[in-house]
Structure 1
Amino acid sequence: MMSDKNASSESWNVAGNAQKNIFEGNTAPIIKDTSGNVTINYANRESFLSGNPFKPPLPREGGLFGRKEDLERLHNLLQSGRNVCLVSGMGGVGKTELARFYAASEDCKTLFPGGVFYIDVRSGKDLAADLVVLTKYHFKGEIQHDLSPQQKLMACWDVWKRQTDKVLLILDDLSGLGKNVRQYLPPSDLVTVRLLMTSRETPDKPIPQELKLEVLLPSAARELLSSIIGRQRVDAELQETDKLCEELGYLPLALELVGYYLDDEDYQELSLSAMRVKLKEKVQHPSLSPEDVPMGMKATRGVQAAFDLSWDELTPQAKHLACVLGAFGDAAIHWGLVTAIYKILQGESFSEDNLKDRWLKSLRKLHLVRTVKTDIYNLHPLIRDYLGEQLKKHCQYSEIKQAFCDVFSNVARKVDQSIALETFNLIEPHLKKMIAWCEGNQDTQLAFSLNQLALLYYSQGRYEQAEPLYKQALELRKRLLGDNHPDVASSLNNLAGLYYSQGRYEQAEPLYKQALELRKRLLGDNHPDVASSLNNLAGLYSSQGRYEEAEPLYKQALELRKRLLGDNHPDVASSLNNLAGLYSSQGRYEEAEPLYKQALELRKRLLGDNHPNVATSLNNLAGLYDSQGRYEEAEPLYKQALELSKRLLGDNHPDVATSLNNLAGLYSSQGRYEQAEPLYKQALELSKRLLGDNHPDVATSLNNLAALYDSQGRYEEAEPLYKQALELSKRLLGDNHPNVATSLNNLAALYDSQGRYEEAEPLYKQALELIKRLLGDNHPDVATSLNNLAALYDSQGRYEEAEPLYKQALELRKRLLGDNHPNVASSLNNLAGLYDSQGRYEEAEPLYKQALELSKRLLGDNHPNVATSLNNLAGLYSSQGRYEEAEPLYKQALELRKRLLGDNHPNVATSLNNLAGLYYSQGRYEQAEPLYKQALQICEQTLGVAHPNSITIGGNYAQCLRRGR
């Protein structure tokens, strides 16, 4: 029995002083002067032999968090053939701590039996003098006093060549010496020495053995904080802990500072959520920039002081660029936006070469800016805050701020509904920053920007964020421009469109009407914006099944566009397409097809063969053929649309996901499940990647993949996907949305298929109630819901409850869609099936015949629905023992299904089983047996051995074999 379970494919049209080196338990025998000359007191020989004034400071107590792999990489780098290794990273990332932990490790002691020596370069810039002291101390070498610093270094390295055991020399914090660091490097033939350097910058000439240290992973950041304030305190506010770590950018120095602040006796009762509020000041807050670093820390500077060291090394031009970057919001930054700001600031004198090759390079060398990928850069959250503070102090603060606002006002103008998630993430936080800066100027530009930010959220399905912005824009425009202004009409239209997308039709309709009325009054009846309003209102009525109200509006819009814009205009193609869509919804396929073809032809002529709108038209025409069962005509069009979208928009675009979804739906309809599944999965994965996990299109993809599994009897795989789709639709669209009703219906149908009738019934009823409430009693979807609930009762033998529902569905479809519609044929067929099940053959036969005749007239002789009607009528004759009449109909249905769906389709298996059943009833076992066998093979191959159909046919086959013997 045919059932309208509505589970088919759905289509839908961007650092301070280090610890001083001291002897442990001895009097220091070394006194160093600024010339590098050293006097050594050898009177206390034991002091010299047992002490090490260049011993690395001890690492922090409590361990090193999240650096196991970095320690292993460092160890491997130091074992390579090169004698120099660099650990680089931004200030506060933990370079010194990593070096100290490594120096204290057993791996280090084993690899460097000759000893580990440490020079804190940041405590004094005279590295040559430090090396002379170390050479005289450890090797008792004599270095002449009258040599230049470079000559003294070479002399030191010559002395070090006498060393037989491997030695590690740590030069901590070489920042500031990046340009000249190579003059301090040991010669390559000094094989017993390994030089480990830490630096906030990367030298101009890269060092091959470089370990770039990044911030901690979230889990390691949490562990670091737990080690200071205690796990119990962290576990009590786990979510707040994770947010705190994220806001601190997982920077070890910041995490330690905040940890010790919270561990102070005055703040041990302070909640982590309250701490997050305090940290709105970021680097300005005392916890991050204390006057005195807590006693438990090995670091000697706060965050701001650490960043100041890098800032002080920048040229004025690099500082200016840093301030421009500090104007941006909390997101990655596209380089093109930076250059756009500079073009405003510098005009014709702007040179991108200097900006990128010199000043940006210097920021990257100091790890103040991180490269995400080509032309996209990011800032650490605390660096961003620090640069924002520097911007406020800059003499060009006002000019930079204005240029930033001008650039993003222009960006706002280019926002449309097709923006991908990656682009959204690149502009949304910056647009918000621009709007926040402009809120003091309550002008039309602000209203426009609010509207465009709302559109940006709308494009991502983030309707709750879009609504208040659309309302702000509307209110501001009314206040500035008065109630009677075209921009007010635009705002009304946009807010109506949002409500429409949310299924809030009762709220959308009066706004669309207000916008239409206002445009007519202000612009006259003959204006393109009036045509747009007519089109939008028609679309609303069409979605509500109010086809008689929608059609004249679509026609008015088409006629108006032709008159105003001429027959050859893209908007005319859009109107043709929309009217065709209306006819298609009504089953008026013969009227829809020429309009779809006209729209396609017009778009090709106006826009060229290679345009996204051409792909849309190809897709729509394919969808029409798909609905008619003209699969051979639909498939090449779907493929062309997919190929065109990929070529024009790239593989990663929502339109590509739509095309994949539609082609998969075609294959699913044909029973080509193995080809459909990977396409559905690609569409789902692409939608998630482009739009995020929380988007209505993702819910649609989940639903479609679930429906595929449902069709194959893979119920355990289908159920969680249907539930995810339902939950996601509820969360994004609210409990009262047509998509929620669709999901309820689909989940109910799954339970129905499994015989889980008690679970299915309340879901069918919820779907029916919701559709009625949202769309009114007179809507095609209400008829579908009535039909499905009736089918459930029918399956349970609850015929008295099923019959009135089937009749209501039939009556409603006739009234809404007319007597000549495929859904009317489906209702006739279902009601006939009910009578057939009850043995009311005289009532069933004329209905089956009407359904067959109607399907042939509407869909042509070659359509799967025609095969279904032939099969059902044959079944009726078979039940009455009218075998001679039944056999040719079963054969016609079988032949038609093979021709349309291929030899290996579940419906072909159904026909084979039914024809075999006819032969079995007549005792023609030899003819029945091979048909049952074929049917079983097809079912097991396409649906699996555990599918109910496979089990049923297998039972029939076994019984036939027994009888045949």
Structure 2
Amino acid sequence: MNDQTNYGGTNYQVNTGENNTNVFYPEPEVPIVGIPHNLPRIHAQAFVGRSQELEQLHQQLQQGSRLAISAISGMGGIGKTELALQYARHHLEQETYPGGVCWLRAREADVGTQIVSFARSRLGLKVPEGLDLQEQMGWCWQHWREGAVLLVLDDVTDYGLVQPYLPSGDRFKLLITTRLQLGKSFQQLEIEVLQEAAALDLLRALTEAERIDRQLETAKSLCQWLGYLPLGLELVGRYLAQKPDLALDEMLQRLEAKRLDARALKRVEAGMSAQLGVAAAFELSWQELEGAARELCYLLGWFGLAPMQWQWVESCFADGDPEDLEDLRDDQLIRFSLLQRSGERTYLLHQLIREFFQAKSIAHSHPEAVDALKRSICRVMAEIARTIPQTPTLMEIARLTPAIPHLESAAQHLTDFYSDEDMLSALTGIAKFYSGQGQYQQAEPWYIAACNTASQRFEANHPSIAGSLNNLALLYHSMGRYSEAEPLLVRSLAIYEQQLGADHPHTATSLNNLALLYYSMGRYSEAEPLLVRSLAIYEQQLGADHPGIALRLNNLAELYRLMGRYSEAEPLLVRSLAIYEQQLGADHPDTALSLNNLALLYHSMGRYSEAEPLLVRSLAIYEQQLGADHPGIAGSLNNLAALYRLMGRYSEAEPLYLRSLAIHEQQLGADHPSTATSLDNLALLYYSMGRCSEAEPLYLRSLAIYEQQLGADHPDTALSLNNLALLYYSVGRYGEAEPLFVRALGILFDRLRETHPNTQTVWKNFLSFLEQVIEAGQTDRLSDHPATQGAIQQLLQGQ
């Protein structure tokens, strides 16, 4: 091909065919001493991590009763030639091939000519004159030196061109190195990149071991950036050896700044088996690709650095023929080892090839064509993001996890190619993926990015800004960071009121969310008017019997329940249940939710006999409509079990709690906050039954989950600390109970204030604990913490 490709501002020139005079030179005739060979006079400074491949290669070559052919295949720079050289040199020393070791350069001069030249110069054969090349070849094979022979064909680009020159007979062993996938008719050894330990060993051997070990973490990052590719590692290692004052972190910064155009990846030294830099090595394969295959490469280079599901690629070429796309993939990219199959309809790019493809697309003469490809990736990623549920199950997480690296990469690097709405969908989807698993720390930067994006892309006070603020506030609510959530919700509400009107449903939702925050903070008097107003808006906009009204009735009733205003809560819940039954049907999941909430009210009022049938019916609806293992059922099981526990029906409560825990572990994961809640509930049952030794490990595991997922200072973590403290208190382990109480109170006073019901409950538990310690005369087992000593003095003065 004649087209010249500009890569990163530099023209990579690749010498091929007769013009390549950099590597090998004609060999003069020499006396035959020992086993004849023409192995290149180059030596690797280090060869690591390939002992298993050398053994496997030898086993392949010794199999069969006819010409044994084994092919070393893989991407450019993977170390195919070096592996072949190491094998040939080792077995030359071992005298495995007394008939000779013949090294043939398949990409250069005619292979037949090289074989005849070897026979003359190394074997001392006098080839008769007057024969054409094919006849000369045949004569050479017939008169070849006795014994097993190793023929190495290095860098085969077209097996059909060299096949006519090959001998027959089982004493000839043919070793091929190629970037091609030659098919199942060959014994093929596809070599992979090095493992991390081997990559580090290679750097140690090329530079100073102490230098690498002194900056080990940076060295690991360096290996990772290079994708553990032997060529890249060797080039960088040799570059570092020449620059003893260059710190590894500076080397990494240079690579990150200049990418494949970095000098370290282009400087090839004499004595290396590789004769090309990284980009130039990839260029050899690139030159074999046709135009449509290159277009596919431009697209693939902008996916994330992770396996790609082929259906995403097909979706990017929505108007193309999937079979044509398959052919380009299989016959071009995979054939030339530019793309690797990593699973069923799943493919992977090496990160340096990905860098190469990106650079090629940047240098494209028609950038608008590449921009269109980038936009197609963004469109596909946004479509995936919109399928992410608020609380994904493990099955949904498994479905979505492969897409997340690509969603994140596109959201970080292709922002200019997203539409405004798709950009918000992508960022919010990623955030929901993490927050739905209780991984709030990972979700936070994506929700913040959504807020920033909305502010940049939309005019001031646009409703999309309000929606993004609302989402970030709900995350902070879940994280217990109430003081940070409040101003966001207040601003979100103001935007909705200003832009959409005081009576818009979005305004009502914003009022509802701010109210929920206030009652989590114990600020019930501030929450109530917001919920009342939200309910009024929905009644006005949707009608008195709309299902949306039922949900708001439930929320207001829950506030009244928490405030102890049971007589006001009951009619709201009764009305909510009637709406659901009338509008959605007696067996709808929302009807089950309403039954559950009315039962919780009766539970709080001590009307257990009325609560039980409602919870039983609610559970039956969930099981019928959602399936026996749906996460929504776990909550219903928990509530019924809690009722049985309070009624002293422990044997009926235990299997319900166990089933609730099993569902949460199975559907949401062993470390999900909902799993921690189930553990707490089961532990409480065992505590109530006097089975404290069984309760303790459950409490400890629950606390560990809360601390890991929600944070050490989350209000739910404080309640978990309180529960464990109560257990230790009950069994006389006062020295272990006290620091848990103190820590719980510190969190609650800081996050919820002194007047919050949860704070008051834990404070009362702490005082009861101290009273028992004083009564038992064991205050010496307590610490000198000011909170503890102050409370003891308060109790002693009150006696």
TM over 0.5: yes
Q: Does 1:133 align with 2:109?
A: no
The equivalent residue for 2:149 is: 167
What CA distance in whole angstroms lies between the structure 2 residues aligned with 1:735 and 1:636?
Answer: 31
Contact 1:337 1:407 in 2 (8 A): yes
Distance 1:525 1:299, change over 3 A: same
Residues 3-29 of structure 1 deviation map (CA, whole Å, 9 limit, x = unaligned)? xxxxxxxxxxxx976742676xxxx21
**How far has the Cα of 1:793 moved from its partner?**
3.9
Structure of greater Rg: 1
Higher relative contact order at CA 8 Å, sep ≥6: structure 1 or structure 2? 1
Distance 1:738 1:183, change over 3 A: farther
What CA distance in whole angstroms lies between the structure 2 residues aligned with 1:244 and 1:504?
Answer: 38
> Alignment partner of 1:294: what SS?
coil
What CA distance in whole angstroms lies between the structure 2 residues aligned with 1:751 and 1:210?
Answer: 64
The equivalent residue for 2:177 is: 198
**How far has the Cα of 1:446 moved from its partner?**
4.0
Distance 1:627 1:449, change over 3 A: same
What CA distance in whole angstroms lies between the structure 1 residues aligned with 2:272 and 2:449?
Answer: 49
What CA distance in whole angstroms lies between the structure 1 residues aligned with 2:414 and 2:693?
Answer: 52
The equivalent residue for 1:392 is: 362
**How far has the Cα of 1:341 moved from its partner?**
1.2
What CA distance in whole angstroms lies between the structure 2 residues aligned with 1:109 and 1:20?
Answer: 25
> Alignment partner of 2:388: what SS?
coil
Contact 1:638 1:659 in 2 (8 A): no
**How far has the Cα of 1:533 moved from its partner?**
3.9
The equivalent residue for 2:225 is: 247
Q: 2:294 corresponds to which letter in structure 1?
A: K
Q: 1:102 corresponds to which letter in structure 2?
A: Y
Contact 1:710 1:750 in 2 (8 A): no
Q: Does 1:618 align with 2:600?
A: no
Contact 1:573 1:598 in 2 (8 A): no
**How far has the Cα of 1:311 moved from its partner?**
0.8
**How far has the Cα of 1:477 moved from its partner?**
3.7
Q: Does 1:355 align with 2:320?
A: no
Q: Which moved more, 1:90-99 or 1:776-785?
A: 776-785
Distance 1:767 1:659, change over 3 A: closer
The equivalent residue for 1:540 is: 517
What CA distance in whole angstroms lies between the structure 2 residues aligned with 1:274 and 1:758?
Answer: 52
The equivalent residue for 2:283 is: 308
Question: Gapped runs of 5+ residues in structure 1?
Answer: 1-14, 30-45, 673-706, 806-833, 835-965
Contact 2:91 2:97 in 1 (8 A): no
Q: Which moved more, 1:70-79 or 1:411-420?
A: 411-420
The equivalent residue for 1:297 is: 272
What CA distance in whole angstroms lies between the structure 1 residues aligned with 2:142 and 2:676?
Answer: 71
What CA distance in whole angstroms lies between the structure 1 residues aligned with 2:404 and 2:742?
Answer: 44
**Structure 2 residue aligned with 1:499, among 466, 469, 476?**
476
What CA distance in whole angstroms lies between the structure 1 residues aligned with 2:411 and 2:93?
Answer: 52
The equivalent residue for 2:594 is: 576
Q: Does 1:219 align with 2:197?
A: yes
What CA distance in whole angstroms lies between the structure 2 residues aligned with 1:115 and 1:671?
Answer: 79
What CA distance in whole angstroms lies between the structure 2 residues aligned with 1:156 and 1:737?
Answer: 82
What CA distance in whole angstroms lies between the structure 1 residues aligned with 2:357 and 2:603?
Answer: 57
Alignment of 1:719-868 (within 5 A): 725=705, 728-729=708-709, 733-742=710-719, 744-745=721-722, 757-758=734-735, 760-783=737-760, 785-786=762-763, 789-790=766-767, 793=770, 796-798=773-775
**Structure 2 residue aligned with 1:70, among 43, 49, 53?**
53
Q: 2:252 corresponds to which letter in structure 1?
A: R
What CA distance in whole angstroms lies between the structure 2 residues aligned with 1:581 and 1:379?
Answer: 56
> Alignment partner of 2:480: what SS?
coil
> Alignment partner of 1:173: what SS?
strand
What CA distance in whole angstroms lies between the structure 2 residues aligned with 1:747 and 1:644?
Answer: 24
Distance 1:310 1:477, change over 3 A: closer
What CA distance in whole angstroms lies between the structure 2 residues aligned with 1:524 and 1:598?
Answer: 41
What CA distance in whole angstroms lies between the structure 1 residues aligned with 2:358 and 2:95?
Answer: 47
Residues 241-297 of structure 1 deviation map (CA, whole Å, 9 limit, x = unaligned)? 110110010111101111121222xx321211111111122211111123xx12453
**Structure 1 residue aligned with 2:24, among 20, 26, 40?**
20
Q: Does 1:285 align with 2:270?
A: no
Contact 1:135 1:159 in 2 (8 A): no
What CA distance in whole angstroms lies between the structure 1 residues aligned with 2:171 and 2:635?
Answer: 73
**How far has the Cα of 1:633 moved from its partner?**
5.7
The equivalent residue for 2:414 is: 437
Distance 1:138 1:745, change over 3 A: farther
> Alignment partner of 1:777: what SS?
coil
Q: 2:24 corresponds to which letter in structure 1?
A: K
**Structure 2 residue aligned with 1:119, among 80, 104, 111?**
104
Contact 1:435 1:450 in 2 (8 A): no
Contact 1:119 1:130 in 2 (8 A): yes
The equivalent residue for 2:625 is: 609
Q: 1:314 corresponds to which letter in structure 2?
A: L
What CA distance in whole angstroms lies between the structure 2 residues aligned with 1:743 and 1:644?
Answer: 21
Question: Gapped runs of 5+ residues in structure 2?
Answer: 1-13, 548-578, 783-794
Q: Does 1:91 align with 2:76?
A: yes
Q: Does 1:55 align with 2:39?
A: yes
What CA distance in whole angstroms lies between the structure 1 residues aligned with 2:326 and 2:691?
Answer: 51
Q: 1:616 corresponds to which letter in structure 2?
A: P
Contact 2:113 2:133 in 1 (8 A): no
Q: 1:329 corresponds to which letter in structure 2?
A: G
Q: 2:389 corresponds to which letter in structure 1?
A: D
What CA distance in whole angstroms lies between the structure 1 residues aligned with 2:411 and 2:685?
Answer: 52
What CA distance in whole angstroms lies between the structure 1 residues aligned with 2:599 and 2:512?
Answer: 12
Distance 1:93 1:455, change over 3 A: same
Residues 139-164 of structure 1 deviation map (CA, whole Å, 9 limit, x = unaligned)? 73747865575x7656655555xx65
The equivalent residue for 1:377 is: 347
Q: Which moved more, 1:629-638 or 1:498-507?
A: 629-638
What TM-score do the two structures reach when normalised by structure 1? 0.63
**How far has the Cα of 1:47 moved from its partner?**
1.4
- Cα RMSD, aligned residues only: 4.5
Of all paired residues, the percent bearing the same amino acid is 32
What CA distance in whole angstroms lies between the structure 1 residues aligned with 2:507 and 2:621?
Answer: 22
The equivalent residue for 1:694 is: none
Contact 2:149 2:172 in 1 (8 A): yes
The equivalent residue for 1:10 is: none
Distance 1:490 1:431, change over 3 A: same
Q: 1:132 corresponds to which letter in structure 2?
A: V
What CA distance in whole angstroms lies between the structure 1 residues aligned with 2:504 and 2:475?
Answer: 23
Q: 1:489 corresponds to which letter in structure 2?
A: A
**How far has the Cα of 1:230 moved from its partner?**
0.6
**Equivalences, count:** 706
What TM-score do the two structures reach when normalised by structure 2? 0.75
**How far has the Cα of 1:89 moved from its partner?**
1.1
Alignment of 1:257-268 (within 5 A): 257-264=235-242, 267-268=243-244
> Alignment partner of 2:263: what SS?
coil
**How far has the Cα of 1:424 moved from its partner?**
3.9
The equivalent residue for 1:333 is: 308
**How far has the Cα of 1:363 moved from its partner?**
1.0
The equivalent residue for 1:405 is: 378
Distance 1:553 1:99, change over 3 A: same
Contact 1:747 1:763 in 2 (8 A): yes
Q: Which moved more, 1:211-220 or 1:96-105?
A: 96-105
Q: 2:640 corresponds to which letter in structure 1?
A: Y
Q: 1:376 corresponds to which letter in structure 2?
A: T
Distance 1:325 1:197, change over 3 A: same
Distance 1:466 1:89, change over 3 A: same
